[in-house]
A and B are shown apart, each in its own frame.
Chain A
Amino acid sequence: GESVGLHLPTLSVQEGDNSIINCAYSNSASDYFIWYKQESGKGPQFIIDIRSNMDKRQGQRVTVLLNKTVKHLSLQIAATQPGDSAVYFCAEDPLGGGADGLTFGKGTHLIIQP
């Protein structure tokens, strides 16, 4: 299940199941969104991205959905594997197309149970 509080929100799923990680973003003018995976002791690793003129984009085992009406982003991971265990961050680029830097969401710790 998912818990939110002083600690990083955690999502625990069984190996082989699908997982959905959600993110609410703050700036309705944001034009570009990225999902990153971060393993312990490493930097953020790009997973998938999407522009505001799209509502869905698919990659290998991953799908990103964007709902601009409610400023919501989700990452779906199909057939989760032990290597998917990590912290997942959504990030928004407020202006898109320029060197503005990213604003990251709080992150979700995904735990894959064997």
Chain B
Amino acid sequence: DTEVTQTPKHLVMGMTNKKSLKCEQHMGHRAMYWYKQKAKKPPELMFVYSYEKLSINESVPSRFSPECPNSSLLNLHLHALQPEDSALYLCASSQVHRGVLDGYTFGSGTRLTVV
């Protein structure tokens, strides 16, 4: 299995809702990432987990709460979002100590709309 699987593919939520985005990989990668991508913009790093521990938080607002329950799963819990949080949320994975030319694998993303 060489894929990163994200669910759901689309999500519409109200500003008072609580929802979660899920990401799964079975490549044995021990680093997992959340990115946010607005239309016509590049992906921007949000969080990095290394060996199931949060290693990087790029000053993301607390209404986004990541969780890594095990080495294959990564969640992003959403609460009290704003319309400007509407975006494509991408999950990626990689080896922690990457050898020569070991890359990153991205999922297809969750298209989030906050109404």
- Report A's interface with B, CB cutoff 8 A: 7-8, 32, 34, 36, 41-46, 49, 51, 89, 96-107
Contacts and interface: CB of A to CB of B under 8 A. Distances in A.
Contact of A102 (B97, B100, B104, B107): B104
Interface in B60-104: 90, 92, 94-101, 103-104
Contacts of B106: 36, 43-46
Nearest to B101: A49
Most chain B beta-carbon contacts within 10 A, residue among A32, A49, A99: A99
Contacts, number: 70
Interface residues of B, number: 34
A93 B90 CA distance: 17
Contacts of A98: 96-98
Contacts of B108: 41-43
Interface in B32-68: 33, 35, 40-45, 48, 50, 55-56
Give the secondary structure class of A's interface: loop
B45 A42 contact: no
A51 B101 CA distance: 7
Given A32-B98, A51-B101, A101-B35, 13 more contacts: A34-B104, A43-B107, A44-B106, A46-B103, A46-B104, A46-B105, A89-B43, A99-B30, A99-B31, A101-B56, A105-B42, A106-B42, A107-B40
A45 B103 CA distance: 11
A7, A41, A102: most-surrounded residue (chain B CB, <10 A): A102
A36 B35 CA distance: 15
Contact of B109 (A34, A42, A49): A42
A99 B47 CA distance: 11
Contact of B103 (A49, A101, A104, A105): A49
A100 B30 CA distance: 12
